[in-house]
Amino acid sequence: MPTSGGQPPYRAGVIGYGLAGEVFHAPLIAATPGLELAAIVTSNAGRQAEASRRYPRAQVVPDTAQLFGLSALDVVVVASPNRTHVPLAIEALDAGFHVVVDKPLAAGAADAARVIATARARGRLLTVFQNRRWDGDFLTLRRLVQDGRLGRVFRFESHFDRWRPEVKPGWRMSDAPEQAGGLLFDLGSHLIDQALVLFGPATRVYAELDRRRPGVSVDDDSFLALTHASGVMSHLWMGALVAQLAPRFRVLGDRAGYTKFGSTCRRSGSAAARTHQSPAGATKRRTDGDDSGPTRKASPSGRSRALTPSSTASSWSRSGPAVRCRSIRKTRLRR
């Protein structure tokens, strides 16, 4: 898409047309002013046909050798399986391109440092795709923290809970170290990044990694506790066998707290987010961010039941009517 100022767009090539390439990177690049989806790499014939149909102006090639031969490209997006992130990022940097790597950047710190060193040596830009920094609920929380509306935050709780008792086969379920499989690499990348963005670097880490579903060889139930240099404690949960979903966010400060239910980016379901003043305050506030429908809670049977805001009311009460304030606007990704 051309820029409003008439400057030529940056031309991007996407490596991989699986979930990351098809659902996230290709449509976002195509919809962003100043970017042009110039090329897509996939060796799968069906995906080649689909990519050509959806993006007729993009050149669809079967391998990275052909992609790196396109001198008109400016940036390469690595959206292939985790095991390929490091070698393909280094290859793209060596070819002279700026690089965006889907999370996680690498399976280990040494490999990540190697990619960073290559980018510096080549004078190219390198970044990791962290799309959850632009979730509406996270933007709301970040604003509340920055504006000081919660006071001094001392605890941050964040959940990515799922009810998926059936194991879906694939490389994400592989326990080979180079695959970087399991929930810690998959969902934990988002939760850790959000905690660090909000509260700064961590000085101490505690983790519990478990396997709950039969036949699983990687973590599918994980917990991390981060102690930030700022003094905040972050508790991060991610699970694939969670029969009752916890709040997406729960943040406690010495002036107020923020609780958010549901996922902002899903197509249905709601986010019954609420900001409460502490009992010392005069009011109780609630902000409804995502009003697309009721929040749903999973049960072991796989069914769900609707939750109304009244059924998720705060655990403390104060005499006098609750005061509703203007909703904090949340952004939505639209395709």
DSSP 198-267: HH--EEEEEEEEE--STT--S-SEEEEEEEETTS-EEEEEEESB-SSPPPSEEEEESSEEEEE-S-SSSS
Write the class of the CATH domain 10-129: alpha beta
Per mean pLDDT, which range of 1-10, 13-22, 85-94 is the poorest?
Answer: 1-10
- Does 37 score more than 50 pLDDT? yes
Closest among 158, 15, 22, 167 to 93, alpha carbons compared = 15
pLDDT of 63: 95
The pLDDT-based confidence of 28 (bands split at 50, 70, 90) is very high
Share of the chain above pLDDT 70, in %: 75
Cis before 177? omega within 30: no
Least confident of 216-225, 233-242, 322-331: 322-331
Helix (H, G, I), strand (E, B) or coil at 269: coil
Is the pLDDT reported for residue 273 higher than 70?
Answer: no
Alpha carbons 264 and 290: distance in angstroms, whole number: 7
**288 compared with 216, residue with greater pLDDT:** 216
The string of pLDDT tens digits covering residues 115-131 is 999 999 999 999 999 99
Contacts of 8 (CB under 8 A, 6+ apart): 2
Q: What does the angle CA 286 – CA 289 – CA 293 come to, to the nearest 5 degrees?
A: 105
What pLDDT does residue 4 have? 59
| Cα(189)–Cα(129) distance, integer angstroms | 10
pLDDT digit string (tens) for 149-169? 999 999 999 999 999 998 887
pLDDT classification of 2: cutoffs 50, 70, 90 = low
pLDDT, tens digit, for every residue of 52-109? 999 999 999 999 999 999 878 999 999 999 999 999 999 999 999 999 999 999 999 9
pLDDT band, residue 203 (cuts 50/70/90): very high
The domain made up of 133-312 has a fold known as Dihydrodipicolinate Reductase; domain 2 (3.30.360)
pLDDT score recorded for residue 176: 67
**pLDDT score for 311:** 27
For residue 157, CA distances in Å to 250, 295, 310 come to 5, 19, 22
Tell me what the pLDDT averaged over the chain comes to: 80
**Count of beta carbons in the 10 Å neighbourhood of residue 116:** 15
Q: What percent of the chain has pLDDT over 90?
A: 65
Q: Check residue 67 and give its pLDDT.
A: 95
Number of alpha carbons in the 13 Å side-chain half-sphere of residue 144: 33
The lowest-confidence range among 148-157, 166-175, 206-215 is 166-175
Taking 90 as the threshold, does the pLDDT of residue 110 lie above it? Answer: yes
Count the residues in the chain: 335
- Domains of the chain, by residue range, sit at 10-129, 133-312
